[in-house]
Amino acid sequence: MTINLDALRHNLAIAKKSSPLSKIVAVLKANAYGHGAVEVAFAIQDRVEMFAVSSIEEAMHLRDAGLTRPVLLLEGCFSENELAQAAAFDFSVVFHSEYQVNALEKQSLTKPLSAWLKIDTGMHRLGVYPDSALRLYQRLKQSNKTRDLVTLMTHMASADLLDEPYTAQQLAIFKQVKKHIIASGASDISTSIGNSGTILGWDEGRSDFVRPGIMLYGLSPFDVPHPEADKLLPVMSLQSKIIAIRTIDKGERVGYGSTWEAPQPSRIATVAIGYGDGYPRNAKSGTPVLVRGKRACLAGRVSMDMLSIDITHIPEVRMGDTVTLWGESLSANEVARWADTIGYELVTRMPLRVPKTYILSET
């Protein structure tokens, strides 16, 4: 696959334009959604405030590679030891539950760490309840183990649905919590709300720090057209080659289980990529691919190392031609719909056996 880091920078510029006053926390969890966290981080380190990952192992991976920007641990620390490590390596730490505040109070640290207090405003996955936010904020401050600025954060459950009123409700709850904490005399707080859907779709969701993920990789968080999201450029492009071509009669069948039947005499190409290379096995017959700039359709089941496409309507296709499974002109989001999943999953779960070639034209 090809990873176009120029497209990544273009997408980052769209995030900045959509939320011009915010600092950018580039979300690089899960190996930068399958794009290669270290390469992605080096390409944008001078253009973002910090990086975010899910675990301390992912954060150490960035430090070991020589990246010096602050790194936010989105799920916080899972043990007291991790807190000491986080402080030592300049990782910012989310506190989403009281047990994590208890651990901070017990652990001695070589230097204070940057604390983010996560509020559950309605996603009901991580975060402290709105009515305990002030108390936990005060305990973080009184521990004397956090830096001056505490960032209040929350995460939106449905920001990708542009007419869903739930987002406005979550934003209102967050605003209340912030007001309550400020009313207690706190002057040193900042805020962080936006994932990609919020950044692009909800002006009211602007905050001091925004946390773009999927949009950096060029996939729209929305199911519907959107003027800014539609300017994103896909960063990952997955390609392979045609390794066999045959002509079959009307009524002949293709692939395991013989699930696809030729409606007419058909030209079938075999492409050297399968579910062992991250292409979803449950992509149905009819899923589009690109060859010679035209669309062709999957015919029959995806195998581990191969899949078949119907090229009857593109007579110029030859052995060795390149086939694009997703990338420019064919979004992973569109392929994902044929496989009952989302573009996030397709790019993130790419296996390591598929080599990555990086494109970066400017420095």
Ligand X SMILES: *Cc1c(COP(=O)(O)O)cnc(C)c1O
What b-and-e string marks burial along 17-54, b requiring 16 or more CB atoms within 10 Å of the CB? ebbeebebbbbbbbbbbbbbbbbbbbbbbeebebbbbe
**Residue 212 binds ligand X, judged by CB under 6 A:** yes
Q: Is 275 a catalytic residue?
A: no
Q: Which of 29, 118, 145, 178 is catalytic?
A: 29
27 in contact with ligand X (CB under 6 A): yes
Task: Give me the catalytic one of 99, 129, 179, 256.
Answer: 256
* Binding flag, residue 289, ligand X (CB under 6 A): no
Span of 132-140, 200-208, 210-218, 250-258 interacting with ligand X by CB under 6 A: 210-218
| CB-nearer residue toward ligand X: 30 or 339 | 30
Side chain identity, residue 192: S
Residue among 197 and 300 whose Cβ is closer to ligand X: 197
String of contacts with ligand X for each residue 105-144, x by CB under 6 A: ----------------------------------------
Question: Which residue is it, tokens 């899960």?
Answer: 30
Indicate which single residue of 211, 242, 279, 280 sits in contact with ligand X (rule: CB under 6 A).
211
Among the residue ranges 81-89, 206-214, 268-276, 335-343, the one whose residues contact ligand X (CB under 6 A) = 206-214
Among 145, 155, 178, 301, binds ligand X (CB under 6 A): 155
Query: How many residues can be counted in the chain?
Result: 363
Asked whether position 210 contacts ligand X by CB under 6 A, the answer is no
Calculate helix-pair angle for 37-44, 5-18, nearest 10 degrees: 60
Taking the CB of residue 198, how many other CB atoms lie within 10 A of it? 29
User: For residue 303, what are the CA distances in angstroms to 213, 281, 318, 349?
Assistant: 31, 7, 21, 17
Please state at what angle helix 80-88 crosses helix 98-106, rounded to 10 degrees: 70
Please count the residues of this chain forming the interface with ligand X, following the rule CB under 6 A. Answer: 13
* 334 closest CA partner among 271, 288, 282: 288
Going by C-alpha positions, the residue among 330, 294, 324, 325 that lies closest to residue 311 is 294
CB of 2 to ligand X, least distance (A): 21
256 given a catalytic annotation: yes
Q: Would you name the residues annotated as active-site residues?
A: 29, 256
Interface contacts to ligand X, rule CB under 6 A: 27, 29, 74, 155, 195-197, 211-215, 221
